[in-house]
């Protein structure tokens, strides 16, 4: 069920057009269908930019924005109503539905685009378009432009400039509205329930994919049909593989399990990582590494507020983790020199944060004019420090090898500080052990 109203989508289109230069046109195609095998397609997921401006989930559609057009600024090309095809493929909005239900100003059949869209482009000085994002549509658009250019002797005026649409659209997407944050909060709550379910179900002797199944069940049961990204469910040494998705190994007594998984709700993602013991009890070594990562995460979250420099969050986690690794004897030397030399990187090789929204690694620049940007209200970021001690790292005591820990939450920057959207999953050692104890 859609969580954001047609009025908000219309407001987004208006905001984008307000940033466009005079006498311009913006063109956004929908995501193409993707074959899975033979005559089977992957479940369709709309292009995020297109959906952000339309809320329209059907394939074979194109949004055209023409500021100042007297017959309507927002034009949607989409499939026509067709009872026979809808019997096989599902309901379509059609042109009437595009106007009535999606607040478009005008709508045309997608099969008429070759005849109509060149006329809408002709006479416009600039075209806003994401070149390279959809190569098949790139070729069609270039064909229309060539067609217009071929008629210049008859007075046709082709556009003289292409402008990267993402430069303004992605900056707009970076700042979430109240409605978007509400959807992301709900996605976080559903994902949190799934992680809780996984903790309660976990025990030695079952497989990683069985834990993944528990999470997918909770997603769907709660109204989120899909995961936002392939779930990572890594037991033991698999937790040290950052993007491990095989999820096919047996979970063993005495190991940790790292789960990085979140649902997608109305095209908005959640992203949560928790690490916990398969048998419900941390060993001393596991606990030491885990609490170090947790300290880094909590200190980083505490620093989130308007005006904080984005990369300062990562710097906090690097210092906490480096200091902790020295105290544990895993690193040796002066902390400042170790940080300068990036000696922590064999154990903590990724950044602590990324934007999150419609895409799990969401759009938006991290730097402005070469400088890390400040956090501002409406931005949503992850905080996800980790420590991964490779099983074959001969430079550390064997007792540490194969331990992988990451803890991740989604955090929105507010006017006065921050709010954690995924706080319902326990992450303190005593909380995790208490939650898992009844199944032991």
**Which sequence positions are flagged as catalytic?**
39, 243, 260, 271, 350, 354, 361, 384, 388, 406, 408
CA atoms within 13 A on the CB side of 312: 14
Separation between Cα atoms, residue 175 and residue 159, nearest integer Å: 31
CA atoms within 13 A on the CB side of 2: 14
Q: What single DSSP character describes residue 408? A: B
Separation between Cα atoms, residue 285 and residue 232, nearest integer Å: 23
Strands (E), 42-196: 62-65, 74-78, 106-109, 126-129, 161-164
Burial class (CB in 10 A: 0-12, 13-18, 19+), 435: middle
Question: How far are the Cα atoms of 171, 247, 310, 354, 371 from residue 367, in angstroms, in the given order?
Answer: 12, 35, 9, 12, 5
The label of the residue with tokens 């069609």 reads: 140
Question: How far are the Cα atoms of 1, 34, 83, 106 from residue 92, in angstroms, in the given order?
Answer: 16, 19, 9, 16
Strands (E), 184-336: 226-227, 232-235, 256-261, 263-265, 268-269, 272-277
Residues 6+ apart with CB under 8 A from 112: 77
Q: Measured in whole angstroms, how far is the alpha carbon of residue 261 from the centre of its chain? A: 12
Q: What single DSSP character describes residue 144? A: H
Residues 6+ apart with CB under 8 A from 3: 179, 182, 183, 186, 265, 266
CB atoms within 10 A of CB 131: 16
DSSP states of 278-316: TTS---HHHHHHHHHHHHHHHHHHHT-STT-BHHHHHHH
């Amino acid at each position: 069920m859609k969580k954001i109203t047609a009025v908000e989508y219309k407001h987004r289109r208006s905001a984008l057009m307000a940033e466009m230069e005079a006498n311009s046109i913006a063109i956004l195609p929908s995501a193409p269908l993707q074959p899975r095998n033979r005559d089977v397609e992957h479940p369709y997921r709309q292009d995020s930019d297109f959906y952000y401006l339309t809320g329209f989930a059907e394939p074979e559609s194109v949004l055209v924005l023409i500021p100042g057009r007297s017959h309507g600024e927002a034009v949607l090309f989409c499939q026509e109503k067709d009872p026979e095809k809808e019997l096989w493929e599902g309901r379509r909005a059609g042109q009437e539905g595009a106007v009535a239900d999606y607040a478009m100003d005008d709508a045309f059949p997608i099969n008429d685009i070759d005849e109509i869209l060149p006329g809408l482009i002709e006479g416009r000085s600039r075209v806003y378009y994401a070149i390279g994002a959809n190569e098949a549509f790139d070729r069609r658009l270039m064909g229309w432009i060539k067609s217009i250019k071929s008629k210049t002797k008859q007075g046709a005026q082709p556009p003289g400039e292409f402008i990267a649409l993402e430069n303004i659209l992605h900056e707009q997407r970076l700042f979430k509205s109240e409605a978007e944050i509400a959807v992301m909060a709900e996605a976080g709550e559903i994902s949190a329930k799934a992680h809780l379910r996984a903790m309660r179900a976990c025990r030695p002797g079952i497989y990683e994919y069985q834990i993944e199944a528990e999470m997918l069940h909770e997603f769907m049961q709660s109204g989120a049909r899909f995961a936002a990204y392939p779930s990572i469910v890594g037991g033991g040494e698999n937790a040290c593989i950052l993007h491990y998705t095989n999820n096919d190994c047996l979970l063993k007594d005495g190991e940790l399990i790292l789960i990085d998984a979140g649902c997608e709700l109305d095209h908005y993602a959640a992203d949560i990582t928790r690490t916990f013991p398969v048998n419900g009890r941390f060993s001393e070594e596991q606990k030491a590494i885990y609490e170090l990562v947790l300290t880094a995460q909590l200190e980083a979250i505490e620093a989130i507020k308007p005006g904080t420099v984005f990369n300062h969050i990562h710097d906090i986690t690097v210092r906490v983790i480096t200091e902790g690794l020295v105290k544990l004897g895993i690193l040796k030397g002066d902390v400042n020199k170790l940080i300068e030399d990036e000696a922590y990187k064999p154990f903590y090789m990724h950044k602590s944060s990324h934007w999150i929204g419609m895409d799990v690694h969401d759009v938006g620049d991290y730097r402005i004019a070469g400088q890390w940007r400040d956090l501002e209200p409406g931005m949503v970021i992850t905080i996800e420090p980790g420590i991964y001690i490779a099983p074959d790292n001969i430079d550390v005591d064997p007792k540490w090898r194969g331990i992988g820990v990451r803890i991740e939450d989604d955090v929105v920057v507010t006017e006065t500080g921050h709010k954690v959207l995924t706080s319902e999953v326990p992450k303190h050692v005593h909380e995790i052990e208490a939650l898992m104890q009844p199944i032991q």
